[in-house]
């Protein structure tokens, strides 16, 4: 009987960290299924969509995303390690992010995190989106109804704040 228990412990599920950058539509079901686990009673999900907005009289019709993909994967690995340091019970982490054109109303990012209990996965998902915006090299350009464009700075990025201060001081 003891041997069977030891074998079960040895066959413990390995943690999964998945980052997918793609020009394809995001499948929320795929993201949720990627973090499913019989040892987890909670899956927390965040879906970020392109919102309709008006800036200086121009209507936003969509966003264009670009990424430095190799660096994004490296930073994502660091983010997952950070999440597990803060919330050790987190089992699986999955983030899918669109690249290219994303029109108003469409999802640009979908993420899910599983853990045995909801508290850890909920806190981890909040941390994940904040750190993703701050550290993962994914950039967005707003496209307006008059076809003008504007690259956006994420307020979470430490270098954008420093850059703003530096530009103001000149």
71-118 tens-digit pLDDT: 999 999 999 999 999 999 999 999 999 999 999 999 999 999 999 999
Instruction: Decide which of 3.30.70.260, 3.90.1170.40, 3.90.550.10, 3.40.605.10 is the CATH code for 14-169.
Output: 3.90.1170.40
- Band (pLDDT 50/70/90 cuts) for residue 12 is confident
Distance CA 130, CA 124 (A): 10
pTM of the model: 0.84
What's the number of CA atoms in the CB half-sphere (13 Å) around residue 104? 11
* Domains of the chain by residue range: 14-169
Q: Does 142 appear as a known binding residue?
A: yes
Q: Does 58 appear as a known binding residue?
A: no
Q: Residue 123 in 3-state DSSP?
A: helix
Q: Does 97 appear as a known binding residue?
A: no
Q: What is the chain's length?
A: 170
Q: Does 140 appear as a known binding residue?
A: yes
Maximum alpha-carbon separation in the chain: 74
Distance CA 29, CA 17 (A): 16
Question: By 3-state DSSP, what share of the chain in percent is helix, strand and coil, each rounded to 5?
Answer: 40, 35, 30
């Amino acid at each position: 009987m003891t041997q069977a228990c030891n074998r079960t412990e040895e066959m413990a599920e390995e943690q999964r960290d998945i980052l997918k950058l793609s020009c394809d539509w995001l499948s929320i079901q795929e993201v949720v299924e990627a973090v499913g686990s019989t040892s987890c009673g909670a899956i927390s999900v965040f879906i970020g969509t392109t919102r309709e907005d008006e800036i200086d009289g121009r209507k936003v019709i969509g966003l264009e995303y670009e990424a430095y993909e190799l660096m994004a994967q490296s930073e994502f690995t660091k983010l997952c390690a950070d999440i597990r340091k803060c919330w050790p019970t987190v089992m699986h982490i999955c983030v899918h992010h669109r690249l290219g054109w994303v029109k108003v109303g469409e999802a640009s990012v979908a993420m899910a995190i599983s853990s045995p209990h909801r508290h850890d996965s909920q806190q981890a998902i909040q941390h994940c989106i904040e750190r993703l915006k701050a550290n993962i090299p994914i950039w967005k350009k707003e496209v307006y109804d008059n076809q003008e464009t504007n690259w956006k700075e994420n307020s979470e990025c430490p270098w954008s704040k420093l850059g703003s201060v530096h530009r103001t001081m000149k």
